[in-house]
Structures are given as C-alpha cells and as structure tokens.
Amino acid sequence: MRTADRWHDAGMRPRTVRLLTGLATLAVLASAAYVAALGDWATASVCAACTFAVAVGWVIVRHDPTSPVGPALAWTTAPIALVTAHVGPLAELPWSSGAWPLNLAGLLVLMLVFPDGASNGTLWRTVPWVFGSATLGMLAVQWGARQVDGEVVGGPDAVWVPWVAVASLIAIGFSMVLAAVSLVVRYWRGTRRTRQQIRWLLLAGIVVVALLAGGWVAEVLGASLNAAYTPFLVAIVVLVPIAVGLAIVRYDLFDVDRLLTGATAWLVTVVVSAAVFGAAVYGLSQAVSAGTGLTSSVAAFITALTLLPVQRHVAQCVGRVVDRDRHVAVAEVERFAADVRAGRRQPEEVEAVLRKVQDDPDLVVYLARPDGNWTRLDGAPVAEPPDGIGIEAGGDVIARVSLGWDSARARRRIDDVAKAAWVPLEVTRLRLVLREALTETEASRHRLVDASAAERRRLERDLHDGAQQRIVATGMRLRLLQQHLPTDQAAEVDAAVAELQGTVDELRRIAQGVRPVLLDDGLAAALAAVKSSSPIPFVLTVGDLPLVSEARALTAYLVVTEAVANVLKHAGASRISVTVAARQDWLAVEVVDNGVGGVAANAPLTALRDRIVSVGGTLGIRATPGGGTTIQALI
C-alpha cells in the first residue's frame, strides 16, 4: 500500500520549483507595477506587500530546492495580488468580482503540501479539484458583476444562480476544512520535527481564522469589504509566510508551543469575555432601566473582574490540549518522584526518565558535588560539563542537564519537568556523596586493619628477634660467668637465670597475643595449635583455602580463639566444632558448641563483632538456651 504519492517519494525537480516560484514572483511584481502605473498607490502597496511571501518562498527554495512548500507559499499571495490588481480597466472584466476564491487557493495548496509535500491519500488529492470546481461556480454566478461603493451589483439573473452560489460556497468551505484536516492527519502520523513545523502553521492559522471570522462579523454589521477583510489579507500576506519560513528553516528557533498556547488562550478569552459582556448587558437591561446609563458600565466592570481568572483557567485548559506533550511529561516525572518517595523506584533512574519524557536519548545529567566539582550519576568525575540547563534547589545548583536535542521548546520543557525532578536529583546527589563517603571509610578501615596487622607482625618479630634474643643471650653469658663463681654466688646466678627465663616466657606469651608465630605456617597450622591446647574434644575442619591476606588470616584466627575462650569460660560445653572454608570471595568461619546456650552478659561479642566488621565482614550468632551456640563469621 502506498503511503505517499510520487511527488513526495521523489520530490519536485529543482527546476520545476524555481519555475513555479518565479511565476509567482512575476505575477506579484506585474500586479504591483500595473496598479502603480494607474496611480492607485494604496492598492499598489497591497500588491507590493505580497512580495514578502514570495521572498520567504525563495528562502525556502534555497534551503530545500526540492520542497513544494516554497512555491506553494509564493502562490499564497500571488493570487491576492492578481485579484487586488483588478482595478481601473481590469475592474470591467466579467470575472473581476467572482475571482475572490483565488485568494484562498494558495493557502489551500500550502496546507496540502506542508511541511514535506506528503500526501495522505487519494481523498486529499481530490481537494484541489473540488476547490477549483467551486471557484468556477463562483465565477459563473458572479460573471459580469461589479463592485459599486463596496457592494456587488449585476451578474446573471437566473433561477440556478442561488443554488450554484450556495453549493460553491459550501464546496469552498469544505475544501478548506479538508485541507486543514489533512494537516491534522499529518500531524498525528508525523515525526517530532513534523509536529513542530505544523504547530507554526497552526499558530498563524488561528490568527488568520480569527481575522476571517471578524471580517464576516464586520461585513454583517455593514462594514465595507475592504475594511472587513483587509486584516485577514494582511495576516495571510505577513503572518503565514513568517510562520512557514520559520517552520521550514528554523522550526526550533522559538518555543512555538508557548506562542500557540498564548494565542489560543487569548482568543478564547476574548470570545468568553464578549459572551460575559453580552450576558451582563442583557441581564442588567432586564433588571435596570435602560435610561439610567449604568448597564454598559456595570457590564464592563463585571467583564473586567472575570477577565484575568478566565484567562488563567483558559490558558491551563488550552495548554493541556495544545501542548499536551509537556503536560504528559510533567505528569510522568511527578509520578516518578512519587514512586521514589514511596520507595518503589530508585532515584538514579532520573536520567532515563528525563530522556524518555524529552524524547532525547542523548540527554545527560551531571550532578554538582559539594566541593564544586561535577560528576555523572554513576559517580564518574567530569572536569567541566557542557553547557546545559541548571537545576536549582534552595538557591543552589544541584544538577545540569545537557540536551542532545537542544531547542527553545526543549529548554522550556526541561525547565518545567525540573520542578518535579529536583527531589530525585537531590536524593541521587546525596546518595552518591554518601556512597563515596562510605567507600572511602571502608577503604580507610581496610588500610588501618592492614597497617595494624603489619604492626602486629613487626612487634612480634621485634619481640622474638630483639628483646627475647638479647635476654636469652644475657642468660647464656650468666651461665658462663657462673662457672667461675663460688658456690654461694652461683646460686644467685641460678635465680637470675630463672628470672630471665620467666621474662622470656612472658615475652613469648605477649608476642603470641600480638600475632601468633604459627601464622607464618598458615591459618590451618595456627588453628591446629589452638585445637591441641583445648581441654575438651575439639573437631577442626579446614577446607582448601586460597591465598589469604595477613589481615584476614589474623582476624579468622582471633575469631576462633576468642570464640573458643568464650566457650571454655562460659558455655560449659563438652565439645567444640570449628569449620573454616572458602565461600566465593569470602572466608567462612563457624564455631559450634553444645554448651548451655544463650549469650553470657560478659562475653566479648562486641569486640569480636568490631574485629570482623573492621575487615568488611559480618558476624551471626545463633544461641538457644540448653541447645548450644553457633557463631558464624564471613570475612
């Protein structure tokens, strides 16, 4: 099935585009020159004003030589110039009065091809034929008619004239409606860029339609055709070209949604205010004598009171319809913030949420750190983030959003959603700082543990290789000296040597408490020594262990020795079981006894837990009165 006609698939030939735009230029210039030659400078100025749309059309042609929008825009005002130029001798031509539908022909074609020349199907390609037939009908019913003092006189006098006139007017209106509907269809089926471009034309169209409706009202009230429809023609000549040119060349230059919302809101406000004024006048005229002169004044006062509240309410309602994407985006971010507060989602998802609502996969969120530096949401540092939109909380910039698709509309939307997103952003920032602080604390604690283990090892060696060896050497020298002393003095040497031996034993005990020498042979050997010194049955199971750091091995050893000491002192157990095994990256230690259970009030569990936590481990205790105690540690 075809989704676009041949015109859209291949584009117009650049030569054809330039030819059509050139013909429109020639028509406008010829009309202005003709009227100026007659000395009708007012009409000549109208024709000259039509060159503005032609100039914008040439800009579009230069921007995209294959786009039909350029020549279509040029021909929105070329027919106006041609019809307006029917003054002087041309005013006597029989079709001069009935050619007015041509003023709408260019606008109709523009709506059918804007912004990319796409065709929505066979129905829309028949619209120009319907409009052309209706234009011929109007020419037929007004053939030979002329304007006299602003009124149309003359023309055919036949029974079919009213019927053809009504049918032609209906067909013209129906064609314009269908052309507008084609824009709506293209809007809903189009890309983000297409929608933005159509919004520009919609903005100008609202103003044009409002002025056209005002012209109808003015004509009904008795105004001349020139006075009634000149604002409408000026809007077509000026506003439509500006909107179309911006849409094609720089559609993201301004926030068209804000302009569109504001224009629509004020238009609706004017209509509502007029209705309020009319209702107030009618109501007061029924209640107050018309001769008092208060009716209009009071009605104007009532209208003034309701104007601003009505405008604010209308602006909100119109914004939800015209700029629905923004309201949907804000609502989605507000739901996300509510989910974060409720704990259903993580605040770090804020970047993904903003990318979704902005429809910008390249959007990046940078967080401001308390030290003045910047970072990504994952904690990666950033020297200096690119320019973007700053998000504040409490007067401080907490984040900066860098847009991949940067435009006035995108910046306005991110400003709106930031009001709802600042809480997740602030929570993410604080959590990141807290996580970094915890990581640094953990690393610092590990460094302290490693340093403590190294210091224990140094002290143990100093005691063993230093003071202990010197004392032993002193004892040996005393023994040598003893051989040359009398018997009574030799007894004193025996006492001194015995005292030195006690000192050596005490130093060995202190060194063993600082760091067991048996750890030099591995954790299993050190635990085997603990088992051998146990006065009750001791079952030791040590699995295949990987290379264990000094700090972890010492911690595991101290956990076992302190737990065994606690069992022997408080539990009254008859059996102890110790199991040490590797569990992925962890060292698992389990001490089980069959003692009285429970936890003694003076048991050193706090110190034991602190020792394990200091190396990033966990401690679990399961004790049942009369059922023994199980201590499990992951190091």
* Residues 530 and 506 grouped into a single domain: no
How many C-beta atoms surround the C-beta of residue 240 within 10 A? 26
Burial class (CB in 10 A: 0-12, 13-18, 19+), 356: middle
Q: Which of 122-126, 178-182, 303-307, 317-321 has the highest mean pLDDT?
A: 178-182
Distance CA 23, CA 79 (A): 11
Residue % of the chain over a pLDDT of 70: 73
Burial class (CB in 10 A: 0-12, 13-18, 19+), 17: buried
* Residues 621 and 546 grouped into a single domain: yes
Per-residue pLDDT at 5? 40
Distance CA 113, CA 103 (A): 17
613 near 575, Cβ under 8 Å?
no
Per-residue pLDDT at 6? 39
Mean of per-residue pLDDT scores for the chain: 76
Task: Report which of 209, 226, 244 is spatially closest to residue 74, judged by C-alpha positions.
Answer: 244
Q: Is residue 170 part of a domain?
A: yes
Model confidence at 461, pLDDT cuts 50, 70, 90, reads low
CATH code, domain carrying 437: 3.30.450
**Residue 399 bridge partners (DSSP):** 367, 391
DSSP E strand stretches across 149-234:
151-153
Residues 6+ apart with CB under 8 A from 196: 247, 251, 252, 256, 409
More confident residue, 223 or 554: 554
Helix (H, G, I), strand (E, B) or coil at 486: coil
Distance CA 55, CA 58 (A): 5
Q: Regarding beta strands 618-624 and 628-634, do their DSSP bridges make them parallel or antiparallel, or are they unpaired?
A: antiparallel
Distance CA 282, CA 115 (A): 46
* Residues 439 and 475 grouped into a single domain: no
Distance CA 74, CA 82 (A): 13
* Residues 300 and 190 grouped into a single domain: no
Unique residue bearing structure tokens 């143990």: 460
Region 610-625: mean pLDDT is 80
Residue that is last in its domain, among 322, 348, 379: 322
Q: Regarding beta strands 628-634 and 538-542, do their DSSP bridges make them parallel or antiparallel, or are they unpaired?
A: unpaired
* Residues 113 and 230 grouped into a single domain: yes
Q: Is residue 592 part of a domain?
A: yes
C-alpha distance from residue 577 to each of 536, 537, 573, 594 (Å): 11, 8, 11, 9
Tally of structural domains, the chain: 5
* Residues 250 and 103 grouped into a single domain: yes
Distance CA 145, CA 93 (A): 9
Q: Is residue 609 part of a domain?
A: yes
How many C-beta atoms surround the C-beta of residue 185 within 10 A? 14
* Residues 275 and 248 grouped into a single domain: no
* Residues 297 and 388 grouped into a single domain: no
| Structure tokens, 506 | 């005490």
Angle at 532 between CA 528 and CA 533, to 5 degrees: 120
219 near 33, Cβ under 8 Å?
no
Residue % of the chain over a pLDDT of 90: 1
Distance CA 519, CA 529 (A): 10
Distance CA 405, CA 414 (A): 11
Q: Which of 169-178, 379-388, 473-482 has the highest mean pLDDT?
A: 169-178
Helix (H, G, I), strand (E, B) or coil at 195: helix
Helix (H, G, I), strand (E, B) or coil at 575: coil
Q: Which of 35-49, 289-303, 333-347, 596-610 has the highest mean pLDDT?
A: 333-347
* Residues 386 and 509 grouped into a single domain: no
Q: Is residue 1 part of a domain?
A: no
Q: Is residue 125 part of a domain?
A: yes
C-alpha distance from residue 457 to each of 462, 463, 515 (Å): 9, 10, 6
| Structure tokens, 320 | 């939800």
More confident residue, 329 or 485: 329
pLDDT above 70: residue 628: yes
Type of residue at 509: R
Query: Which of 261-265, 383-387, 512-516 is predicted least confidently?
Result: 512-516
Region 434-446: mean pLDDT is 76
pLDDT above 80: residue 479: no
Unique residue bearing structure tokens 């022909």: 105
* Residues 218 and 204 grouped into a single domain: yes
Per-residue pLDDT at 579? 92
Model confidence at 159, pLDDT cuts 50, 70, 90, reads low
567 near 573, Cβ under 8 Å?
yes
Per-residue pLDDT at 84? 79
Query: Domain span at residue 531?
Result: 522-634
Q: Is residue 288 part of a domain?
A: yes
pLDDT above 80: residue 174: yes
How confident is the model over 10-40, as pLDDT tens digits?
467 888 888 988 898 898 888 888 888 887 7
pTM over 0.85: no
Unique residue bearing structure tokens 């015995």: 498
Residue that is last in its domain, among 443, 471, 501: 443
End-to-end Cα separation, the chain, in angstroms: 68
Angle at 123 between CA 118 and CA 126, to 5 degrees: 90
pLDDT above 50: residue 347: yes
**Main-chain phi, psi angles of 582, to 5 degrees:** -90, 135
Angle at 446 between CA 442 and CA 451, to 5 degrees: 150
* Residues 344 and 425 grouped into a single domain: yes
11 near 117, Cβ under 8 Å?
yes
Unique residue bearing structure tokens 């049955």: 537
pLDDT above 50: residue 178: yes
127 near 119, Cβ under 8 Å?
no
Per-residue pLDDT at 124? 77
pLDDT above 70: residue 287: no
Q: Is residue 370 part of a domain?
A: yes
Q: Is residue 220 part of a domain?
A: yes
* Residues 547 and 499 grouped into a single domain: no
DSSP E strand stretches across 20-79:
none
How confident is the model over 492-535, as pLDDT tens digits?
777 777 777 767 666 666 655 556 767 777 888 888 888 888 88
Residue that is last in its domain, among 386, 409, 443: 443
Task: Report which of 332, 63, 110, 334 is spatially closest to residue 205, judged by C-alpha positions.
Answer: 110
